[in-house]
């Protein structure tokens, strides 16, 4: 039984926009990345899980509790980070953390303090003067500080610099090891690398694909950029049976896609030519992600 369960929910806004017959489940200890372009329906789905919206059809549940009719009980089990955080700006960061900890009847601030240290946050100043990234850190601390079983994080890395994004990824991996079930929404593939077990791609309100990240990462197809010393060498290789994705004659550069099993063939061809550089240019995950955006995958 999934910890987070979305069963065929539909919510139409003015006829054509919204989410349509959306289904997926998230297991205990699983990190599920929910990705899709602007307006795809990620936040609408999340609002249903939070019990802020009632589906026109279908049902959502968390820990076997109905997200609409039992929303108060559901929210006690949740850590939630909204995409757009509306904080009471007159408070200091620490006052807000204490206030929310009191509301949750938290016995101590041990986890909050650990997270403050981890994210190098100074929560003493008024929220109104804080940068977007600093507010995001406070949002993260408020979502995690009560050690919830289930975490729902809408664009959690937005506003974080690369070092803080990496600190956030470490946190997610630790929470996963402790058995937390996590739903995170994203726009960009870079943000999901190394954290998500599965990725659900939503487009125009419909789930177009759900895949195991490991499966994509282990795909045998790879893309390489090869720079030749002479144009004639580039031209002589394009007739070989490799998938040529791009040719740049000015830079004498070729981009090819090849299955791992044919790597020896490629290396043999290259060994007879003068090569300036040879490198893998795209992870298969990025390629998958872009293909989804372009609409080439329809697995669900």
Ligand X SMILES: Nc1ncnc2c1ncn2[C@@H]1O[C@H](COP(=O)(O)OP(=O)(O)OP(=O)(O)O)[C@@H](O)[C@H]1O
Q: Are strands 198-203 and 206-212 parallel, antiparallel or unpaired?
A: antiparallel
C-beta closer to ligand X: residue 13 or 99:
13
C-beta closer to ligand X: residue 146 or 203:
203
Within 50-109, where are the H helices? 71-76, 93-103
Q: How far is the CB of 196 from ligand X (least distance, A)?
A: 17
**250 contacts 259 by C-beta, under 8 angstroms:** no
Q: How far is the CB of 205 from ligand X (least distance, A)?
A: 7
Q: How far is the CB of 122 from ligand X (least distance, A)?
A: 29
C-beta closer to ligand X: residue 38 or 124:
38
Residue 76, SS3?
A: helix
Q: How far is the CB of 150 from ligand X (least distance, A)?
A: 19
Angle, to 10 degrees, between the axis of helix 132-144 and the axis of helix 110-118? 150
Q: How far is the CB of 219 from ligand X (least distance, A)?
A: 26
From residue 152, alpha-carbon distances to 4, 128, 155 in Å are: 10, 25, 10
C-beta closer to ligand X: residue 63 or 160:
160
* Binding site residues, ligand X, CB under 6 A: 13, 17-18, 36, 38-44, 83, 187
Q: How far is the CB of 136 from ligand X (least distance, A)?
A: 15
C-beta closer to ligand X: residue 19 or 226:
19
From residue 204, alpha-carbon distances to 16, 33, 124, 250, 295 in Å are: 9, 17, 42, 40, 11
Nearest to 29 by CA among 180, 148, 168: 180
Nearest to 28 by CA among 56, 10, 2, 58: 2
C-beta closer to ligand X: residue 13 or 278:
13
C-beta closer to ligand X: residue 36 or 148:
36
Q: How far apart are CA 275 and CA 240, in angstroms?
A: 16
Q: How far is the CB of 143 from ligand X (least distance, A)?
A: 17
Q: How far is the CB of 283 from ligand X (least distance, A)?
A: 22
The alpha carbon of 280 is separated from its chain's Cα centroid by a whole number of angstroms, namely 23
Question: Which residues, including other chains, have CB under 8 Å from residue 271's CB and lie 6 or more apart?
Answer: none
- Beta strands (DSSP E) in the chain are 4-13, 17-26, 31-35, 57-62, 65-66, 78-81, 150-154, 181-186, 198-203, 206-212, 221-228, 243-248, 253-259, 275-282
C-beta closer to ligand X: residue 40 or 101:
40
């Amino acid at each position: 039984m999934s910890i987070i369960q979305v069963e065929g929910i539909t919510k139409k806004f003015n006829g054509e926009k919204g989410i349509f017959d959306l289904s997926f489940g998230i297991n205990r200890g699983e990190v599920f990345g929910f990705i899709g372009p602007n307006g795809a329906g990620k936040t609408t789905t999340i609002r249903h899980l939070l019990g802020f919206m009632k589906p026109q059809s279908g049902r959502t549940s968390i820990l076997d509790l109905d997200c609409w009719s039992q929303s108060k009980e559901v929210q006690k089990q949740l850590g939630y980070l909204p995409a757009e955080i509306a904080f009471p700006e007159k408070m200091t960061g620490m006052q807000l953390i204490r206030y929310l900890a009191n509301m949750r009847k938290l016995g101590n601030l041990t986890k909050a303090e650990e997270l403050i240290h981890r994210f190098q946050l100074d929560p003493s100043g008024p929220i109104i003067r804080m940068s977007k990234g600093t507010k995001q850190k406070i949002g993260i601390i408020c979502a995690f500080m009560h050690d919830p079983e289930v975490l729902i994080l809408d664009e959690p890395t937005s506003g974080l610099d690369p070092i803080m994004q990496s600190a956030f990824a470490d946190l997610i991996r630790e929470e996963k090891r402790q058995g937390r079930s996590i739903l995170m929404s994203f726009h960009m593939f870079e943000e999901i690398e190394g954290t998500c077990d599965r990725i659900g791609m939503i487009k125009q309100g419909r789930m177009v694909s759900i895949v195991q990240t490991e499966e994509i990462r282990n795909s045998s197809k790879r893309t390489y950029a090869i720079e030749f010393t002479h144009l004639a060498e580039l031209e002589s290789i394009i007739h070989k049976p490799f998938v040529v994705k791009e040719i740049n004659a000015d830079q004498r550069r070729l981009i090819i896609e090849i299955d791992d099993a044919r790597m020896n063939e490629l290396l043999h061809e290259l060994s007879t030519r003068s090569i300036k550089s040879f490198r893998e240019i795209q992870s298969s995950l990025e390629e998958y992600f872009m293909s989804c955006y372009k609409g080439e995958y329809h697995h669900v």
